[in-house]
Every structure is written in C-alpha cells, then in structure tokens.
Structure 1
Amino acid sequence: MNHISLEIFQVVAEEMSVVKAARRLGRVQSNVTTRIQQLEEELNAQLFIRENKKIRLSPQGKKFLVYSKKILSLAEEARQSLHPGEPNGVLTLGSMESTAASRLPEPLAAFSRACPGVQLRLNTGPTRQLTDKVLMSELDCALVSLPRGENGEILCPENLNYHPLYIENLRLVLPVAMAGVKTVGDIREGQLATFAKGCTYREIAVGLLSQTSGSGESIQIQEVNSYHAMFACVASGTAMCVLPQSVLDLLPLPEGLTILPAGMAITQLVWRQDFSSPGFDQLLSVLQGASDITP
C-alpha cells in the first residue's frame, strides 16, 4: 500500500467513476482499474461494489476511506514540516457559504500573494458537516459558526482548536406579503428558506421564531443550496430567510421587503489539535489580520 495507490483510491471514491477519476488524475483508465484491484488484493477486502457499470463504496471501502484521508493528510503535513520557511503543498479549507462570499475574497488574495507555493482548495457547506470533515481529516481547517449551549458556552468538539474571527449580525428578511409584520413576535406561520440541517444560522432562526412567537412548529422548512436561491425565494414571496448583514450588503434588495434583527453569531476557524503546517500558520495570520474581533 503506497501513497499513489491511496491517492487513486481517494479520487475514485470522490468521483464514483473510474473514467472520471482517470481523467482527473491524468492516467489511462486501465491503470486506475489495475491500481484499485491491486489495493483490494493487498488489503484482502472489496473496496467498491460494482453493479451495472456503476460503482459505490462497500462498507469496508467507506471505513478505509476515512483512514486513507488521514494517512494522506499526515503525509502532506510531514512533508511540509521539513521546509517550515517555505509554505507549499496543498491546504484544504472549508467555509460556510456566507463567509466565503463576504469575508474571504481579500484575505485569500493576500494569502495567495504571500504563499504562491500553496495550493488552496476551498469547500463550502454548513457548520456541522464542515466540522465533521475537519475531524475526519477531509479538511485541514474550516470557517464555521459553532453552536452554543444553554448557558451560552461555545460547543466545540474535542480534539479541535478554534479561533474567533468575525462577528455576524443576523437579519430576518421577510417577503412583501409579510409587510405588516413589525417584530418577530408577530410571525405565526410561514416558510423558512434555509440550508440543510447542520447550519447554525438555521438553528438560530428556528429557535428565534419558536421562542419569541411560539410559531416554531408552524414554520415550514424549504432547504436550498445557496444564498442566491434563498433570497430568490424571499423575492418571489414564498419564504423568509435569515442571513448575515455582510451577505445582505452584497445582494440587490427588491422594494417592499421587511428586515428584522435576528441576533448575532461568531465565525470561528477550527482545526485539529494535532494539525500544523507553514501554510496553515500563514493562513491563520492573514485571517487574523482581517478579523473584526479585537484579541
């Protein structure tokens, strides 16, 4: 079992297609197939289930994928540690959609200028999914909004460090049809356009509507994949949404919408306690420089 075989296995697992994996890796299809077969023979385990010209990970393949990502991540970290003065290699960063849109363009441009040898890969998603990926070494670090407990304490998983970076003032945006609403407490029913479960802003919105108006059970959830789709639902009059003011500032505002305060959230950078690399250290420094939270 070598480094190249693990990389090939990981790409095939991500693409769920040998043809697509071969194209992405710049290899011929037969070579990718042979590498996977050799790896399965070496492990004495079936990593993929093949049926009707399609493949999917077997239970053993899913388990092995977790370990292979950890091995590759550790190998990359070890390689970079030998050249601490020269940030290079791959750094995988996760981010909430809102942060990627409103907070990252300038800092990532500055990071690219400071570390031209680092290949930064950006993935977006809700907080819980991103946090899980950091824990599983699928991401090196991520910008998330960690949930809070009943006493207001930040709930950070074990084995993770976090650093607060941005304060987000949340806004509840109501469609034209709800123009008569003056406070959140006036809302009795409606539809909330939001991201999938695991989004901290979704939890805040549902909790706010439930606590202030008792309407939590009357609020229907419409899941969307982007803030543009979310805002389109509001503009069309079919739903309300909660989003940060920093994102709202980037969007065109149709006339007649009602915007109400919906609380505050903190964006943190999270990373594994055992993770370190020159590229990550530089990224953290750049993000700290763009932070609106005073140390």
Structure 2
Amino acid sequence: MSKLVPALALLAATAVITAAPSARATDMFEIQVYQSEVNKPGQFAVELHTNQTIRGPKTVEWEGHVPTDRMTRMTLEPAVGITEWLELGLYLQSFHTPGAGANFGGFKVRAKMVVPQRISRNYMLGMNVEVGRVPRAIEIDGWANELRPIIGYKDGWVLASFNPIIGYAITGPERFRMHFEPGAKGWINTQLGFALGVEYYAGLGLIDKGLAPWRDQEHLALVAMDFAEKANSTHHGPDDGHGDDEDEWEVNVAFGRGFGPAAAHEWLLKTIIGKAF
C-alpha cells in the first residue's frame, strides 16, 4: 500500500490546480505524459500516435480553422539516443476529418534531457524542450514552444508521472505569453503483462493572469492500459534507465472524455505504439 502514495500524491496535485483569459487548448497531437526513459546512445526508436475525437465542436473559430468533430490525428515520432541523458526526436503530424479530408498537421523537434536512472533510481527527473509549427487549420499562432518538466516515480508495481507543462506561442497575437498545461499519469501493474491506470490533461490558461476561470479551462481524463512487464523482469531495475533488450515495445491505449464548460473533446480514443531497435 505504501507504494501507492507517490502515485496518489502526484495525481492529486494536478486535480487541485484551478483558479482565475481563455485557456489554450491541450496539444491533441501528443496526448502523452512523459517519463524519464531515453534511448541508449545511438539507439533508434519510433512511435506512432493516433487519436480520434469521436464527438467534438463543429464551430469554425477563425478563418481557415478546421473544427475537431470526428477528427482523426496521426503523429509519427522517430527518436535517437545521443548520450545516457539526452535524446532527440521529431514529430510529423497529420489529421483527417470527413469535411476537410487528409491534411498535414505540422511538425515539432524536441530534446529530452533526464537524470540517468542509475543516479535517480526509481525516481524520474527530466526536462523536454520542443519547438514546432502547426498550420492555421489547427492553431492560429503557428510557431510555438513547450517546456515539459518530468517528475515521477516508477517501480515494478506502480507508476506516477507529472508533467507541469508550460507552453507559449512564438508568433501570433499571444506570442511569449505562457500557458499552464499540466498532464499526469498513474498506473498499477497487474503483473499479467499490462498495467491499468488513468491519465489527465488540462489547459488552465495564462500564468500571468493567474490562470483562467473554470468556465474557460479545458480538462481531459482517460482510462488507460499500457504494456508492462512483471516486477521481477530484468527490464525493471534502476540500473541504467534503458532496459536490457534491444527490441523494446511500447503500447498504450486510452479512452476518455473532456469535462468542464470549455472542453473541446467530448469523447476521445487514443493509441501509442512504439518500438526501439
């Protein structure tokens, strides 16, 4: 039972952050809470992110905007390990709606920097920095940056990860105004080859305005299932943070809905499938 404390504490921390501007929408091309694993130096990996807004808003909010109702998104994410603490990655995004058809959804580049697990042991500490550009169909701002701290705990039985994300546009009317967009994830390993848990994402508004009022916040909660090896697996020890197998798979499936007056995605299904080579 004591191992559940870190998971519950981190999830509770995100649940109480509501205060007094409109909140920037959550990045729906990357519905993921980061952990501190990185690829080995020279090791290549690729992930495919997909999600669909089963039911969402149909209103065009600006010229060229594509509403998210029944939108399917796909993101290809190749990444390579540089050192034991640095990984570089690229996102190539696309989307499809019944009305607009298939379209390019923009790109991002990232650098993920972590404290190696041989030092941090079961705790997770790191920072992910991204810069990218999305078309006007998705965001009015265009170029944007993201700072994603990684804080958490993981062992063979439980995981708790918190990403207190700060995002801001580099171009557009709100350039360099910082938005708070936290994400959190917790799971329990069933020891049957998979873990069951929850994920939470939010767009809470401008930091310099004391965040947005509840009516303008966006929240998204999902029930998730992840591939997870048994606690006695050789991949679980905090020896190097990479695992011992060159052929590592990642599988995540989650289903949930937005809540709150400003929620843009009433029901959503997402998957992540990844492989390290």
Structure number with higher strand proportion: 2
Q: TM-score, normalised by structure 1?
A: 0.28
Structure number with higher helix proportion: 1
> Which protein is bigger by CA-based radius of gyration?
1
Q: TM-score, normalised by structure 2?
A: 0.29
